[in-house]
Amino acid sequence: MKVLFAAAECVPFVKTGGLADVVGALPKTLIEKGIEVEVILPFYSQIPDKYRDAVEHILDFKIKMGWRHVYCGVKKLVLEGVTYYFVDNESFFKREGLYGHWDDGERFAYFSMAVCEIMDRLSIVPNIIHVHDWHTAMIPMLLVHKYSWMEPLKNIRKVLTIHNLKFQGIYNPIILESCFGIGMESFVDQGVKYYDKVNFLQGGIQYADCVTTVSPQYAEEIKTSEFGETLDGVLRFNDWKLHGILNGIDTDLYNPATDNALFDNYSDKRLPGKYRHKQELQKLLGLEVNPNIPMIASISRLTDQKGFQLVSAVLEPLMQREVQYVVLGTGEYEYESYYKEMAGRYPHKMSARIEFDASLAQQIYAASDFFLMPSAFEPCGLSQLIALRYGSIPIVHETGGLKDTVEPYNRFEEKGTGFSFNIFSAEVMMHMIDEALEVYRRKPAYTRLVRHAMRQDFGWDKSADQYIDLYKSLM
């Protein structure tokens, strides 16, 4: 079986969110299980020089976009057993950021067509093409309406994974002719037509042979008006091909026993290293150095989706408790400025790093005792999985993948892996934080909870088997 992944980002090359982690880790596990997997990505200027310098230029040609003929270079790199292809066009991919540009529709229309034409030109035709999110969601439509005349591409089965339904790629219908160079045959309700616009993600849902989400709970939630982002009707119509498969994490990369970013390594059997590391991070962040003070952490985009309206509402009363709070991330200005202000008012109890630093993130996961993640909605979430791996007990809102992965703690039976609340309110969340702190004060019970959390298996092995079964069913 041969599978081609097409995506907008992938670690270790570029990353803005969990999509990159999935596209970076899942192919490696599939290859270990005997599946032939290749990955195709844009050749962004943000890709580190050590990878840019290592690629091999193998092909260039022109892609017809409407009335234009646009350059397409193809580069290749084999890394850790995975073959990567990169689509090179500086006018589209030499930008300040990966997304948020006025011509994103044109950029990813180009990339989607490049993927299709590269498959034919390089004879890397897979049994399955696995596309991710709106950036590549039009590839299934293109294989039906634009490239069906290419004999080698006719029998490719098409899988779309939705990592976050909120982002859909909605554009003026003129894009079908001016960029994709096709007519209006796909501009129908059971195609890409979304009111009077073209919706890339809707097109992927309609034309893919199978649609997956990144957790079983999210697959159910998005069929409702509350979480469906106005596509709930389309998803209910396509319910027969919708599957929820839980994301995993790279357990080699996220391993407190070997993580070079930590001041001291540890495992579930050797916890003292965690508390030595905690004291070093307290020094680094200017907090009171005391391993017995519970440290709560959040590593996230600072947005309403991630529940920071709740965090802001309880931050002042939280600072009155014997606790430390560490937040790392960037996002909406009101949260950035408020957390910096609060860190200034409580310098020995709170640290706000308004940035993203991967090494510091690892250090915070390892040092913290609790991980606060009150997302309003969460397709899967990787942060809570990493937190569990490092022995930072999650405090989460019961939604999406958070509900699938965090087992509520039962203080009487001492079972569970974290603390969760099902009503999205600051008051309820604060009550759950207090419950967590009460367990922390019962040291033997808390230590058993940490050890149990660290022993959970959220690697990719089980999920990869589910993807393989899905691929086989399509073939």
Q: What is the tens place of the pLDDT at every residue in 330-386?
A: 999 999 999 999 999 999 999 999 998 989 999 999 999 999 999 999 999 999 999
User: Looking at the predicted structure, is the pLDDT value of residue 17 above 90?
Assistant: no
pLDDT of res. 32: 95
Q: What is the tens place of the pLDDT at every residue in 191-238?
A: 999 999 999 999 999 999 999 999 999 999 999 999 999 999 999 999
Name the CATH topology of 2-248+460-474.
Rossmann fold (3.40.50)
Name the CATH topology of 272-454.
Rossmann fold (3.40.50)
In the chain, what percentage of residues exceed pLDDT 90? 95
Q: What distance in Å separates the CA atoms of residue 442 and residue 71, rounded to the nearest whole number?
A: 64
Q: What is the tens place of the pLDDT at every residue in 235-272?
A: 999 999 999 999 999 898 899 999 999 999 999 999 99
Q: How confident is the model at residue 417 (pLDDT cuts 50, 70, 90)?
A: very high
pLDDT of res. 312: 97
Structure tokens at 118: 């590269």
pLDDT of res. 5: 98
Q: What is the mean pLDDT of residues 58-83?
A: 96
Containing 158, the helix (H) or strand (E) segment is: strand 157-162
Handedness of CA 105, 110, 116, 119 (dihedral sign): negative
pLDDT, mean over the chain: 96
Residue-by-residue DSSP string for 40-64 = EEE--TTS-HHHHTT-EEEEEEEEE
Q: How confident is the model at residue 449 (pLDDT cuts 50, 70, 90)?
A: very high
pLDDT of res. 180: 96
In the chain, what percentage of residues exceed pLDDT 70? 100
Containing 18, the helix (H) or strand (E) segment is: helix 18-32
Indicate the domain borders of the chain. 2-248+460-474, 272-454
CB atoms near residue 151 (< 10 Å) = 9
pLDDT of res. 253: 87
Is 349 labelled a binding residue?
A: no
pLDDT of res. 9: 97
pLDDT of res. 321: 96
Residue 268, by phi and psi: left (phi above 0), alpha (psi -120 to 50) or beta? alpha
Q: How far apart are the first and last CA of the chain?
A: 9
